[in-house]
Homo-oligomer: A and B are copies of this chain.
Amino acid sequence: MLNWSPCRDCAVRDDALCGAVPLEELTQLNRNAHRKRYRPGSVILASGERPDWHANIISGVVKLTLALPDGRQQIVGLLFAADFLGRPFKDIAPYTAEAATVVELCCFGRRHFEQLIEAQSGVRRLFIERTLDAVDAARDWMMLLGCKSAEERVATLILLMARRRRAEWCEPCVQRQMLTIDLPLSRTDMAEYLGLRIETVSRQLRRLATAGVIETSSRRTVTVRNLAALERMVSG
Protein backbone atom coordinates (compact mmCIF):
# COMPACT_ATOMS: atom_id res chain seq x y z
CA MET A 1 0.00 0.00 0.00
CA LEU A 2 1.44 3.30 -1.06
CA ASN A 3 1.25 6.32 1.16
CA TRP A 4 -1.10 7.98 -1.27
CA SER A 5 -3.46 10.65 0.02
CA PRO A 6 -6.38 11.80 -2.11
CA CYS A 7 -6.46 15.10 -0.24
CA ARG A 8 -2.82 15.88 -0.90
CA ASP A 9 -3.38 15.64 -4.62
CA CYS A 10 -6.82 17.24 -4.57
CA ALA A 11 -7.43 19.81 -7.31
CA VAL A 12 -9.31 22.14 -4.98
CA ARG A 13 -7.26 21.47 -1.86
CA ASP A 14 -6.29 25.09 -1.32
CA ASP A 15 -9.58 26.73 -2.25
CA ALA A 16 -12.07 24.45 -0.53
CA LEU A 17 -12.96 24.48 3.16
CA CYS A 18 -10.50 21.65 3.72
CA GLY A 19 -7.74 24.13 3.03
CA ALA A 20 -8.09 25.18 6.65
CA VAL A 21 -7.78 21.65 7.98
CA PRO A 22 -4.35 21.00 9.52
CA LEU A 23 -2.28 18.30 7.82
CA GLU A 24 -2.49 15.87 10.71
CA GLU A 25 -6.28 15.93 10.51
CA LEU A 26 -6.31 15.19 6.81
CA THR A 27 -5.76 11.47 7.23
CA GLN A 28 -8.83 11.31 9.39
CA LEU A 29 -10.71 13.30 6.77
CA ASN A 30 -9.56 10.95 4.04
CA ARG A 31 -10.96 7.94 5.80
CA ASN A 32 -14.40 9.44 5.90
CA ALA A 33 -14.48 10.86 2.40
CA HIS A 34 -15.44 9.31 -0.89
CA ARG A 35 -15.89 10.67 -4.39
CA LYS A 36 -18.97 10.63 -6.60
CA ARG A 37 -19.54 11.53 -10.23
CA TYR A 38 -22.70 12.81 -11.87
CA ARG A 39 -23.72 13.28 -15.49
CA PRO A 40 -25.13 16.58 -16.73
CA GLY A 41 -28.81 16.86 -15.84
CA SER A 42 -28.75 14.24 -13.13
CA VAL A 43 -30.21 15.08 -9.73
CA ILE A 44 -27.60 15.06 -7.00
CA LEU A 45 -30.02 15.73 -4.20
CA ALA A 46 -33.75 16.34 -4.36
CA SER A 47 -35.44 18.97 -2.24
CA GLY A 48 -36.91 17.35 0.85
CA GLU A 49 -34.45 14.46 0.97
CA ARG A 50 -32.35 13.65 4.04
CA PRO A 51 -28.80 13.22 2.85
CA ASP A 52 -26.30 11.76 5.30
CA TRP A 53 -23.42 13.59 3.67
CA HIS A 54 -22.10 17.00 2.70
CA ALA A 55 -19.65 17.57 -0.14
CA ASN A 56 -17.05 19.74 -1.74
CA ILE A 57 -17.19 20.21 -5.47
CA ILE A 58 -14.03 18.95 -7.13
CA SER A 59 -15.05 19.94 -10.64
CA GLY A 60 -18.12 20.94 -12.63
CA VAL A 61 -21.08 23.20 -11.98
CA VAL A 62 -24.06 22.46 -9.72
CA LYS A 63 -27.45 24.19 -9.99
CA LEU A 64 -29.52 24.77 -6.87
CA THR A 65 -33.18 25.04 -7.82
CA LEU A 66 -36.54 25.71 -6.22
CA ALA A 67 -39.74 24.57 -7.90
CA LEU A 68 -43.39 25.50 -7.64
CA PRO A 69 -46.04 22.75 -7.64
CA ASP A 70 -47.09 23.70 -11.18
CA GLY A 71 -43.60 23.12 -12.54
CA ARG A 72 -42.19 26.64 -12.63
CA GLN A 73 -38.54 26.56 -11.65
CA GLN A 74 -35.96 29.03 -10.46
CA ILE A 75 -32.23 28.48 -10.15
CA VAL A 76 -31.36 30.04 -6.80
CA GLY A 77 -27.65 29.42 -6.82
CA LEU A 78 -24.74 28.05 -8.79
CA LEU A 79 -21.87 26.14 -7.22
CA PHE A 80 -18.45 25.81 -8.81
CA ALA A 81 -15.24 23.93 -8.09
CA ALA A 82 -14.14 24.28 -4.44
CA ASP A 83 -17.62 25.34 -3.34
CA PHE A 84 -19.38 23.57 -0.51
CA LEU A 85 -22.61 21.65 -1.09
CA GLY A 86 -24.75 20.98 1.93
CA ARG A 87 -26.89 22.46 4.64
CA PRO A 88 -25.41 21.77 8.07
CA PHE A 89 -27.69 21.66 11.13
CA LYS A 90 -30.77 20.89 9.07
CA ASP A 91 -32.03 17.44 8.23
CA ILE A 92 -33.92 18.02 5.04
CA ALA A 93 -32.48 19.60 1.93
CA PRO A 94 -34.11 22.97 1.21
CA TYR A 95 -33.39 22.88 -2.55
CA THR A 96 -32.72 20.47 -5.33
CA ALA A 97 -29.10 20.16 -6.43
CA GLU A 98 -28.61 19.19 -10.06
CA ALA A 99 -25.51 18.71 -12.17
CA ALA A 100 -25.27 21.33 -14.91
CA THR A 101 -22.11 19.77 -16.32
CA VAL A 102 -20.21 16.62 -15.43
CA VAL A 103 -19.73 16.97 -11.69
CA GLU A 104 -17.29 15.37 -9.34
CA LEU A 105 -17.95 15.58 -5.60
CA CYS A 106 -15.94 14.77 -2.52
CA CYS A 107 -18.47 13.59 0.06
CA PHE A 108 -18.09 13.18 3.81
CA GLY A 109 -20.47 12.34 6.65
CA ARG A 110 -22.79 15.06 7.87
CA ARG A 111 -22.05 14.56 11.54
CA HIS A 112 -18.37 14.45 10.83
CA PHE A 113 -18.45 17.79 9.08
CA GLU A 114 -20.56 19.40 11.78
CA GLN A 115 -18.07 18.25 14.39
CA LEU A 116 -15.29 19.63 12.24
CA ILE A 117 -16.95 23.04 12.24
CA GLU A 118 -17.18 22.95 16.01
CA ALA A 119 -13.63 21.79 16.56
CA GLN A 120 -11.61 23.55 13.87
CA SER A 121 -11.84 27.29 14.18
CA GLY A 122 -10.19 27.81 10.80
CA VAL A 123 -12.71 25.72 8.91
CA ARG A 124 -15.50 27.26 10.92
CA ARG A 125 -14.43 30.79 10.15
CA LEU A 126 -14.14 29.98 6.45
CA PHE A 127 -17.56 28.33 6.46
CA ILE A 128 -19.16 31.33 8.14
CA GLU A 129 -17.60 33.76 5.68
CA ARG A 130 -18.72 31.68 2.73
CA THR A 131 -22.23 31.46 4.09
CA LEU A 132 -22.30 35.24 4.51
CA ASP A 133 -21.05 35.57 0.95
CA ALA A 134 -23.88 33.29 -0.16
CA VAL A 135 -26.37 35.66 1.47
CA ASP A 136 -24.82 38.59 -0.38
CA ALA A 137 -24.85 36.73 -3.69
CA ALA A 138 -28.49 35.74 -3.31
CA ARG A 139 -29.43 39.31 -2.47
CA ASP A 140 -27.50 40.69 -5.42
CA TRP A 141 -29.48 38.32 -7.59
CA MET A 142 -32.73 39.51 -5.98
CA MET A 143 -31.82 42.95 -7.28
CA LEU A 144 -31.33 41.54 -10.76
CA LEU A 145 -34.62 39.64 -10.67
CA GLY A 146 -36.57 42.52 -9.18
CA CYS A 147 -35.19 45.47 -11.12
CA LYS A 148 -33.24 44.65 -14.22
CA SER A 149 -34.37 44.41 -17.85
CA ALA A 150 -33.86 41.29 -19.95
CA GLU A 151 -30.89 42.87 -21.68
CA GLU A 152 -29.24 43.81 -18.38
CA ARG A 153 -29.86 40.34 -16.98
CA VAL A 154 -28.20 38.53 -19.86
CA ALA A 155 -25.30 40.98 -19.85
CA THR A 156 -24.88 40.45 -16.11
CA LEU A 157 -24.70 36.71 -16.53
CA ILE A 158 -22.11 36.90 -19.29
CA LEU A 159 -20.01 39.25 -17.21
CA LEU A 160 -20.37 37.01 -14.17
CA MET A 161 -19.08 34.04 -16.13
CA ALA A 162 -16.28 36.13 -17.60
CA ARG A 163 -15.21 37.34 -14.17
CA ARG A 164 -15.06 33.82 -12.80
CA ARG A 165 -12.15 33.38 -15.18
CA ARG A 166 -10.55 36.69 -14.37
CA ALA A 167 -7.46 34.85 -13.11
CA GLU A 168 -6.97 33.51 -16.61
CA TRP A 169 -7.29 36.94 -18.21
CA CYS A 170 -4.04 37.93 -19.77
CA GLU A 171 -3.42 41.53 -20.70
CA PRO A 172 -3.12 40.78 -24.42
CA CYS A 173 -6.43 38.87 -24.30
CA VAL A 174 -8.26 41.75 -22.66
CA GLN A 175 -6.66 44.28 -24.97
CA ARG A 176 -7.59 42.34 -28.06
CA GLN A 177 -11.06 41.59 -26.67
CA MET A 178 -10.63 37.89 -26.98
CA LEU A 179 -12.15 36.76 -23.70
CA THR A 180 -13.73 33.44 -24.55
CA ILE A 181 -16.15 31.78 -22.17
CA ASP A 182 -17.50 28.24 -22.19
CA LEU A 183 -20.97 28.54 -20.75
CA PRO A 184 -21.67 25.76 -18.27
CA LEU A 185 -25.41 26.42 -18.71
CA SER A 186 -27.91 25.58 -21.40
CA ARG A 187 -30.35 28.25 -22.60
CA THR A 188 -32.98 26.69 -20.36
CA ASP A 189 -30.65 26.96 -17.37
CA MET A 190 -29.81 30.55 -18.20
CA ALA A 191 -33.50 31.37 -18.46
CA GLU A 192 -34.27 29.73 -15.12
CA TYR A 193 -31.42 31.58 -13.48
CA LEU A 194 -32.37 34.95 -14.94
CA GLY A 195 -36.13 34.72 -14.47
CA LEU A 196 -36.75 34.83 -18.23
CA ARG A 197 -37.88 32.47 -21.01
CA ILE A 198 -35.39 30.74 -23.25
CA GLU A 199 -36.67 32.66 -26.27
CA THR A 200 -35.94 35.93 -24.53
CA VAL A 201 -32.43 34.80 -23.57
CA SER A 202 -31.81 33.77 -27.15
CA ARG A 203 -33.04 37.09 -28.52
CA GLN A 204 -30.97 39.13 -26.07
CA LEU A 205 -27.83 37.15 -26.89
CA ARG A 206 -28.47 37.89 -30.53
CA ARG A 207 -28.92 41.59 -29.77
CA LEU A 208 -25.63 41.66 -27.90
CA ALA A 209 -23.98 39.90 -30.82
CA THR A 210 -25.35 42.26 -33.48
CA ALA A 211 -24.33 45.18 -31.29
CA GLY A 212 -20.78 43.81 -31.45
CA VAL A 213 -20.52 43.34 -27.69
CA ILE A 214 -20.16 39.57 -27.85
CA GLU A 215 -19.74 36.87 -30.42
CA THR A 216 -21.43 33.50 -30.21
CA SER A 217 -19.17 31.10 -32.04
CA SER A 218 -20.99 27.99 -30.86
CA ARG A 219 -24.02 27.45 -28.66
CA ARG A 220 -22.01 27.14 -25.50
CA THR A 221 -19.22 29.53 -26.38
CA VAL A 222 -19.28 33.28 -26.01
CA THR A 223 -16.46 35.66 -26.79
CA VAL A 224 -16.51 39.10 -25.24
CA ARG A 225 -15.66 41.62 -27.93
CA ASN A 226 -16.32 44.82 -26.04
CA LEU A 227 -15.77 44.44 -22.33
CA ALA A 228 -16.36 48.09 -21.54
CA ALA A 229 -19.73 48.07 -23.30
CA LEU A 230 -20.71 44.89 -21.48
CA GLU A 231 -19.82 46.42 -18.14
CA ARG A 232 -21.85 49.50 -19.03
CA MET A 233 -24.92 47.39 -19.77
CA VAL A 234 -25.08 45.63 -16.41
CA SER A 235 -25.50 49.01 -14.66
CA GLY A 236 -24.37 48.16 -11.17
B88 touches A132 (CB 8 A): yes
Please measure, in the bound complex, the distance between the C-alpha atom of A142 and the C-alpha atom of B192, giving whole angstroms.
11
Q: Does A147 contact B (CB under 8 A)?
A: yes
How would you classify the secondary structure of chain A's contact residues: helix, strand, loop or mixed? Answer: helix
State which of A66-74, A105-113, A213-221 sits at the interface with chain B: A66-74
B131 touches A138 (CB 8 A): no
Q: Does A121 contact B (CB under 8 A)?
A: yes
Please measure, in the bound complex, the distance between the C-alpha atom of A66 and the C-alpha atom of B64, giving whole angstroms.
23
Q: Does A14 contact B (CB under 8 A)?
A: no
Residue from B88, B121, B147, B194 in contact with A74 in the complex, judged by beta carbons closer than 8 Å: B147
Please measure, in the bound complex, the distance between the C-alpha atom of A93 and the C-alpha atom of B55, giving whole angstroms.
30
B88 touches A139 (CB 8 A): no
Quote the shortest CB–CB distance from A62 to chain B (angstroms): 14
Q: Knowing A69-B236, A88-B132, A132-B90 are in contact, say whether A141-B142 is a contact too (CB < 8 A).
A: yes
Copies, count: 2
Tally of A interface residues using CB under 8 Å: 44
Q: Which of A66, A118, A125 has the most CB of B within 10 A?
A: A66
Residue from B68, B124, B136, B145 in contact with A142 in the complex, judged by beta carbons closer than 8 Å: B145
Residue from B66, B88, B117, B147 in contact with A140 in the complex, judged by beta carbons closer than 8 Å: B66
Q: Knowing A69-B236, A118-B121, A131-B131 are in contact, say whether A74-B146 is a contact too (CB < 8 A).
A: yes
Q: Does A195 contact B (CB under 8 A)?
A: yes
Please measure, in the bound complex, the distance between the C-alpha atom of A39 and the C-alpha atom of B110, giving whole angstroms.
45
Q: Does A40 contact B (CB under 8 A)?
A: no
A95 nearest in chain B by CB position? B139
Which of chain A's residues 115-159 have a Cβ closer than 8 Å to chain B? Answer: 117-118, 121, 124-125, 127-129, 131-132, 134-136, 138-143, 145-148
Query: What are the 6 A-B residue pairs with the smallest beta carbon separation, nearest first?
Result: A146-B195, A138-B138, A145-B145, A76-B139, A74-B146, A74-B143
- List A residues at the B interface (Cβ < 8 Å): 64, 66, 68-70, 72-74, 76-77, 87-90, 94-95, 117-118, 121, 124-125, 127-129, 131-132, 134-136, 138-143, 145-148, 192, 194-195, 235-236
A-B contact pairs, 6 of them (CB 8 A): A70-B235, A87-B132, A131-B131, A135-B135, A138-B138, A138-B142
